[in-house]
Amino acid sequence: MSQSYDIKLRIAYRYDHPAGSHRTLLRILPRSIEGQQQLLYGQVTTDPPPDFRLDDVDFFGNPMTEVTHEGRLSEIDFLFEGRVLRRTPRDGLDLSCALSDLPRAVAQIQSIRAPSPHHFLGPSPRLRHESEIAAFARCCTRPGMSALEAVEAVSHALNDLFDFDSSATEVTTTPIEAFRARRGVCQDISHVMISALREIGVPAGYVSGFLRTLPPEGQPRLEGADAMHAWVRAWCGPDAGWVEFDPTNAIRVGLDHVTVGFGRDYSDVAPSKGSLRSEGGHETRHMVDVVPIEAKLTA
Amino acid sequence: MNKVGTPDALMRFLQGYESLPGVADELKRPDGTLRPVWDPLIRYLASKSPEQLARSFARGDQYLHDTGVYFRQYSGDESTMRDWPLSHVPVIIGQDEWDGLAEGIAQRAELLEKVMADLYGDGELVRDGFLPADLIAQNPEWLRPVVGIKPRSGHYLHFLAFEIGRSPDGSWFVLGDRAQAPSGSGFALENRMATSRVFHDLFPKSNVERLATFFRVFRDAMVGLKGGDGGRVAILTPGQHTDTYYEHAYIARYLGFLLLECEDLKVQDGQLSVRTIAGPEPVSVLWRRLDSRFADPLELDETSALGTPGMVSALRSGAMDLVNCLGSGVLEARALMAFLPRICEHLMGAPLKMSNIATWWCGQDHERAYVLENLERMMIGSAQSTKLPFDIDRTTALGGKFRGEARGPIEDWIAREGKSLVGQEAVTLSTTPAMIDGKLKPRPMVVRVFATRTPDGWAVMPGGYARIGRDGDPTALAMQAGGSVADVWVMSDKAIHADTLTSTASGPLLRRQPGLLPARAADNLFWLGRYAERAEGAVRVLRAWHLRLEEHGTRNVPLVSALGDFLTTFGHDIEDPVPVMLLGHFDASVVCASKVRDRFSTDGWNALNDLSETARKLAAKVTHGDDAARAMTVLLRKTAGFSGLVHDNMFRFLGWRFLTLGRALERADHIAAVLAVLADEATPPGGLDAAVEIGDSVMTHRRRYTIETSRETVIDMLALDRENPRSLLYQIDILREEEEQIADATAQPRMGEATRRILMLQTMLAVSTSGQISSRRLNRIRRELAGISEALTAQYLS
């Protein structure tokens, strides 16, 4: 099965005082992933247009756009608009290896290139070792489980534990703060899940992307559809490879999700990172629109 | 041969110098005889009386003090500066031995280059099993955004340091590789300068290899990296708060390179530029003294407050070279040393010429077992740590025991966290003589040696930066804290041709191009001028106030009260005889000067610090009235000394002009403020005389006007007299002249805002009569001066 979406994203910055020398790194162009999704068309633009622009691909293969605005501005918009074709991921048999065999399976992979699971173990810029999260992870898994069962178990346990609350946290909230508060948004829940999985030896990474805004008829609306979404990918052994879970909604990632990029944690895939010279504060708003194209195109 | 010192005298001198059994000693052979390279120095030392030696040593210390070499130490949040801990006796190594050592260093440097190229290139060392993948993937200094970038010059590494020691069998080994941003070469140079002064009559005759040749080769290599593009070569420092800032400033001056902080830099259109007073200027080679991780908050550590956004992008676009390339810190991880011997054979086709400290990574079954079996002679610590084996932290185990709080059996720890741990052989270092209480004593040492890439391969500095342990304990532990540093003499059999940095075909040194003044440096010089003058102005008013307080014995006299109010308006709490605000002005000047130490004379720096310290000392003891007035006189005298150094001795480069602008602006404001109160129609009795006194023009006034002070004479002399260096108009004339020079040098296309406002103010004052300069007018002039300051800032300083 497959499904196409027309997607619009607008990230709007408003400054209290006009700010100059903006440099912004954008990761908002959905990547194409073989067998999983394809960017049919689309582009990243800014309003006003940039003074300098460079499009490139980062270490993990995510498209990134670097733009600068030299003059003093009180507002800038960053936009993506385009169409993405999404395919159902294979999720039939559990091909994952036993949780206890995972360390050996990882060790056998002699690679530091992007797809290697080695990047997704241990601490990363926003995720440190937290013994409370480690204890939680060991608590909700058993050594006899397959890697896939373990990931599923952690995902469900977190979904039960957390209340989705978009007012409880900010983009800078640490996973342990959110974990203790048991509240947060997709970014927090995903960060906690990644930490938990790494603690039990499962290589895990952060995926940023979109959810369809309106659910198919008769189904409930998913949490997190009004902004960019985040979920988790976990490496479950050489045969199963990378498997994606959405702990915010306690589901396997499927046709309703569109990947933008992935990395070790949020810092690798932040949709916009910027620097500028200014005196005052600023305000950011994200606006997302994910509209499914009728089945005629993709039947 | 030196005839001084009979064998008996030598024996007496060396009495008590007992090298330890099983430990190599630099001075003595295992059989107790003296190594020949030391002979001239030991004879020299033995021939001197203790008093003569003390005088010689003091000469070196004086040099270090005069040049302002200090050592910044961090303990907790506090940082303190202490005297440079020079051990006056150098370490001496023979030329033949050194040549062999240098070959080992050059080989290792090239090996590190190849490892770096692989880790940021195809990753074959991991693929082919020479390095474990997780060791690299978990290294916080392996910077993924740099993977795939090929440096413009074709090379990643250009300047390296190695910490080496001598093992009991006499061979040298490497304790640590320094590839991130190696420090110490400038300190080595300072140690040489000081030590050559200590032995000023021995050193020139000794065949000691000179260091200047190495620095010349390094400088030429840096300049060569430009490859003909028009950009500059600069040194990037994290700033004055880093413990090696002194060295950065020193070496920038020595080599004639710009010293920049991240704030000075900007990436525009893929090009790295320095913000100067004349706009952005391209930089094409940057000697990076800042850790890579912090260099770019956009692509690297997002929490870095030091970085230049876009630095990685500029590197990727190939518009510049970094010395060393970003990401070179990955080479410093301790665990790497477990694998380098095998990698060397693989990549270089030969074994390591100089071994490194034996290291076992506990992430491998066999190695872990070995470490567990030999816990007694192991130091066990973090695998990714870049610290040297003797920089022990709380989570280090030594000889089977934890250094910090107990954490259960070491065996469990290793089994649990093996991948993040290494075992390193607990080493024994060689000892070298240090003068302790008038006697030579053996002390353990390590030496940091330096290598630079040249078009003809790696060049190794003949000498180095030795660190000497605090006590006799020859294990690496003694090197941790305290201790001292020493020069390293590489002694040749042949006469040495004295070299200096300037005797070279590559042209004269230190020809800075005018206009290339970083905006931040100009800003600091401008504010240095302002704060120093603000302090002086306050001291003058304070003295006038204290004198009158003494004279009248009460504050309830109109003039005393008017002066007190004046001080209060400017934020001075006059309950303190020397108000805190005044100390603040001195401190602020020191802070500004400390940020431009590479452009500011050492004498000026010392004078300024002396002023600040004196003010603090006086503040602690003086009382209101005469006592405080005398203290202010002391401060004024010292201020005059500082001004003299700055204004008579400093070269008239552009930075000086900003300093002068700042001073003139502040002085103009001060005079206007004083006149607005003391030359007002309603000035209290004696106010006019006080104004003349504060304006330092008592003699002039007396000579010029035979009559009593009147409002007209005071305004005429202090506001409108172009010949009086304290007058308002005189300051505006200076503003006009200096700003014009700056505008010319920075090729301003048309008359700027600052020029226009200065010109208008100058004209207004030039055509005014003293009757027209009312207090209201003076206050308007003060507002106009603030506007000029803002215009100058907008045009040149941001």
Q: At B404, which CATH number?
A: 3.30.1490
As a whole number, mean pLDDT of residues B4-13 equals 70
Beta B70-75 vs A251-252: how paired, if at all?
unpaired
pLDDT at B81 over 90: no
Shared domain for A169 and A198, answered yes or no, is yes
Q: How many CA atoms lie within 13 A of B674 on its CB side?
A: 32
Q: Is B733 exposed, middle or buried (0-12, 13-18, 19+ CB in 10 A)?
A: middle
Q: Do A125 and B301 touch (CB under 8 A)?
A: yes
Joined tokens for residue B793: 């800032």
Give the closest-approach CA distance of B132 to chain A in angstroms: 7
pLDDT digits (tens, 9 = 90+) for B98-156: 999 999 999 999 999 999 999 999 999 999 999 999 999 999 999 999 999 999 999 99
Tell me how far apart the alpha carbons of residues A297 and A295 are, in angstroms, rounded to a whole number: 5
Q: Across the interface, which of A51, A59, A68 has its CB nearest the CB of B144?
A: A59
CATH number at residue A17: 2.60.40.2250
Min Cα–Cα distance to chain A from B798, Å = 11
For B670-706, how does the pLDDT look when each residue is reduced to its tens digit (9 = 90+)?
Answer: 999 999 999 999 999 999 999 999 998 887 777 777 6
Question: What are the pLDDT digits (tens) for A97-132?
Answer: 999 999 999 999 999 999 999 999 999 999 999 999
| Nearest residue in A to B307, CA atom | A275
Mean pLDDT computed over every residue of chain A: 90
Check B138 against A56: CB less than 8 A apart.
Answer: no
Contact B268 A52 (CB under 8 A): yes
Q: For residue B416, what are the domain limits?
A: 358-425
Q: Same structural domain for residues A203 and A79? A: no
Q: B409 lies in a domain? A: yes
Question: Is the residue at A92 inside a domain?
Answer: no
Q: What tokens were used for B508?
A: 């004269």
Closest CA to A246 of A92, A121, A97, A89: A89
State residue B482's pLDDT score: 67
The confidence score (pLDDT) of residue B514 equals 47
Q: Is the pLDDT of residue B75 over 60?
A: no
Is the residue at B27 inside a domain? no
Check whether B515 has a pLDDT greater than 70: no
Domain tally, chain A = 2
A129 belongs to a structural domain: yes
CATH of the domain at A189: 3.10.620.30
> B298 and A274 in contact by Cβ < 8 A?
yes
Highest mean pLDDT among B299-313, B330-344, B784-798: B330-344
Are residues B642 and B562 both part of a single domain? yes
Contact: A68, B144; criterion CB under 8 Å: no
Is the distance from CB of A92 to CB of A192 less than 8 angstroms? Answer: no
Which of B133, B138, B302 lies nearest to residue A111, judging by beta carbons? B133
Contacts of residue B77, defined as CB under 8 A and 6 or more positions apart, other chains included, come to none
User: Which candidate from A23, A111, A275 shows the least CB-CB separation from B126?
Assistant: A111
Chain B residues lying within 8 Å of A274, measured CB to CB: 298
Angle at CA of residue B63, ends B60 and B522, nearest 5°: 150
- A283 and A236 co-located in one domain: no
What average pLDDT does chain B have?
89
Residue whose entry in the numeric block shows the structure tokens 């206007």: B672
Q: What is the pLDDT of residue B270?
A: 86
Q: What region does A290 belong to: left with phi over 0, alpha with psi -120 to 50, or beta?
A: beta
* Lowest-confidence segment of B39-53, B475-489, B701-715 by average pLDDT: B475-489
Burial class (CB in 10 A: 0-12, 13-18, 19+), B253: middle
Residue with the larger pLDDT of the pair B76 and B486: B486
What is the pLDDT at residue B395? 64
For A60, the closest chain B residue by CA position comes to B144
Is there a contact between A23 and B134 if contact means CB atoms under 8 Å apart?
Answer: no
pLDDT at B4 over 60: no
d(CA B431, CA B757): 68
Residue that has been written with the tokens 């602020």 in this structure? B588
Between B651 and B462, residue with greater pLDDT: B462
Whole domain around residue A69: which residue ranges? 2-87+270-294
**How much is the pLDDT for B508?**
38
- B750: left (phi > 0), else alpha (psi -120 to 50), else beta? beta
Q: Is residue A9 part of a domain?
A: yes
Do B248 and B372 lie in a common domain?
no
State whether B298 and A54 contact (CB < 8 Å).
Answer: no
Q: Are residues B534 and B560 in the same domain?
A: yes
Report the predicted TM-score, pTM, of the whole model to 2 decimal places.
0.86
Going by pLDDT thresholds of 50, 70 and 90, the confidence category of residue A91 is: low
Q: Which of A58, A63, A61, A28 is nearest to A46 (CA)?
A: A28
Phi, psi of A258 (to 5 degrees): -125, 120
Q: Give buried/exposed letters for B114-153 (b at 16+ CB in 10 A, else e).
A: bbbbbbbeebebbeeebbbbbbbbbbbbbbbbbbebebbb
pLDDT at B74: 52
Q: Give the other-Cβ count within 10 Å of B606's Cβ.
A: 16
Nearest to B91 by CA among B362, B585, B432, B383: B432
Same structural domain, A286 and A194: no
Q: Are residues B594 and B475 in the same domain?
A: no
Interface test with B, best of A21, A60, A69, A112 (most B CBs within 10 A): A112
For A20-45, what is the mean pLDDT?
94
Amino acid identity at B583: L
Same domain, A109 and A75: no
Report how many domains make up chain B.
Answer: 4
CA distance B137 to chain A (A): 5
* Whole-number Å distance between alpha carbons of B394 and A289: 52
Is pLDDT above 90 for A163? no
- Higher pLDDT, residue B263 or B392: B263
Predicted pLDDT of residue B298? 93
Contacts of A138 in chain B (CB under 8 A): none
**Are both A278 and A243 inside the same structural domain?**
no
Same domain, A121 and A198: yes
Q: How do strand B321-323 and strand B279-288 relate by DSSP bridges?
A: parallel
Same domain for B596 and B539, yes or no, is yes
**One domain, residues B302 and B203:** yes
The CA distance from B339 to A61, in Å, is 30
Cα distance between residue A204 and residue A155, in whole Å: 12
Q: Is the pLDDT of residue A14 over 60?
A: yes
State how far the Cα of A193 lies from the Cα of A157, in Å rounded to an integer. 10
Confidence band for A253, pLDDT divided at 50, 70 and 90: very high
**Which of B473, B491, B509 is a domain's end point?**
B491
Q: What is the pLDDT of residues B618-646, one digit of tens each?
A: 999 999 999 999 999 999 999 999 998 88
Cα separation, B657 vs B652, whole angstroms: 7
Number of residues that this document lists for chain A:
299
Q: Supply the pLDDT for residue A295.
A: 55
Quick one: pLDDT at residue B646? 84
Contact assignment for B266 to A21 by CB distance below 8 Å? yes
Query: pLDDT at position A92, please?
Result: 66
Mean pLDDT of B281-294: 94
Residues of B in contact with A116 (CB under 8 A): 133, 137
Please indicate whether, in this complex, the C-beta atoms of B123 and A111 are within 8 angstroms of each other: yes
Q: Do B138 and A121 touch (CB under 8 A)?
A: yes
Contact (CB<8Å) B128/A21: no
Residue B509 has pLDDT above 70, yes or no: no
Q: Are residues B417 and B480 in the same domain?
A: no
Question: Is the same domain home to B637 and B673?
Answer: no
What would the mean pLDDT of A6-33 be, rounded to a whole number? 92
Whether the pLDDT of residue A84 is over 70: the answer is: yes
Please report whether residue B70 resides in a domain: no
User: Which domain-ending residue is among B425, B456, B476?
Assistant: B425
Residues A261 and A282 in one domain: no
Same domain, B158 and B100: yes
Phi, psi torsion values for B68, nearest 5 degrees: 80, 25
A299 inside domain: no
Phi-psi region of A217 (alpha: psi -120 to 50; beta: other; left: phi over 0): beta
pLDDT score, position A226: 74
Q: Which of B127, B144, B297 sits opposite A275 (nearest CB)?
A: B297
Cα–Cα nearest to B467, from B488, B437, B436, B440: B488
Helix (H, G, I), strand (E, B) or coil at B772: helix
The answer to whether ipTM exceeds 0.90 is yes
Asked if residue B7 belongs to a domain, the reply is: no
Q: Are residue A229 and residue A190 in the same domain, yes or no?
A: yes
Of B425, B444, B477, which closes a domain?
Answer: B425
According to the model, what pLDDT value does residue B406 have? 56
pLDDT value at residue A297: 45
User: Are the beta carbons of B133 and A66 separated by less than 8 Å?
Assistant: no
- Closest alpha carbon to B622 in B543, B690, B567, B555: B543
* B54 in any annotated domain: no
Confidence label for B476 from pLDDT (cuts 50, 70 and 90): low
- Tell whether B318 is within 8 A of chain A (Cβ): no
CA triple A45-A47-A49, angle to 5 deg: 75
Interface residue B144 vs chain A (CB under 8 A): yes
Question: Domain check: are B545 and B483 in the same one?
Answer: no
- Contact assessment for residue A27 and residue A64, using Cβ atoms and an 8 Å cutoff: yes
Whether A290 and A189 share a structural domain:
no
What angle is formed at CA A57 by the lines to CA A51 and CA A58, rounded to 5 degrees? 105
Same domain, A264 and A118: yes
Cα(A75)–Cα(B595) distance, integer angstroms: 35
The predicted pLDDT at position B6 comes to 62
In contact, B145 and B312? CB cutoff 8 Å? yes
Q: What is the pLDDT of residue A126?
A: 94
Cα angle vertex B164, ends B160, B170, to 5°? 145
Taking the CA of residue B264 and the nearest CA in chain A, the distance in Å comes to 13
Co-location of A184 and A284 in the same domain: no
Please indicate whether residue B513 or residue B717 has the higher confidence score (pLDDT).
B717
Under an 8 A CB cutoff, do B137 and A121 touch?
yes
Q: How far from B529 is each of B581, B586, B613, CA to CA, in Å?
A: 17, 11, 18
Selection from A153, A166, A163, A131 nearest residue A202 by Cα: A153
Both B465 and B412 in one domain: the answer is no
Interface residue ranges in chain A relative to chain B, Cβ cutoff 8 Å: 21, 23, 25, 51-52, 54, 56, 58-60, 66, 68, 70, 106-107, 109-113, 116, 118-119, 121-123, 125, 267, 270, 273-275
Buried b / exposed e across B354-391, counting CB within 10 Å, b at 16+? bbbbbbbbbbeeebbeebbeebeebbbbbbbbbebbbe
Task: Flag whether B187 is in a domain.
Answer: yes
**What is the rounded distance in angstroms from the CA atom of residue B298 to the CA atom of residue B302?**
6
Tokens encoding B743: 């505008």
- Judged by CB atoms within 8 Å, which residues 242-301 of B form the interface with A? 266-270, 297-299, 301
pLDDT, mean of residues B190-203: 93
Please confirm whether the linkage preceding B324 is cis (ω < 30° from 0).
yes
B331 and B466 inside one domain: yes
Distance CA B694, CA B382 (A): 64
Query: Taking CA atoms, what residue in B is nearest to A172?
Result: B303
Strands (E), B251-304: 258-260, 265-268, 271-276, 279-288
In this model, does residue B479 exceed pLDDT 70? Answer: no
Instruction: Determine the average pLDDT of the residues in B286-292.
Output: 95
CA dist B773 and A198 (Å) reads 77
Please state, as a whole number, how many other Cβ atoms lie within 10 Å of the Cβ of residue B798. Answer: 13
Comparing CA positions, the residue from B633, B589, B584 lying closest to residue B607 is B589
pLDDT digits over B577-607, tens only?
Answer: 999 999 999 999 999 998 887 777 778 888 9
| Nearest-CA distance B144 → chain A (Å) | 6
* pLDDT-wise least confident of A80-94, B63-77, B506-520, B705-719: B506-520
Q: Helix crossing, B519-552 with B580-594: angle to 10°? A: 160
Tokens of B475: 């294990």
Tokens, residue A225: 């559809």
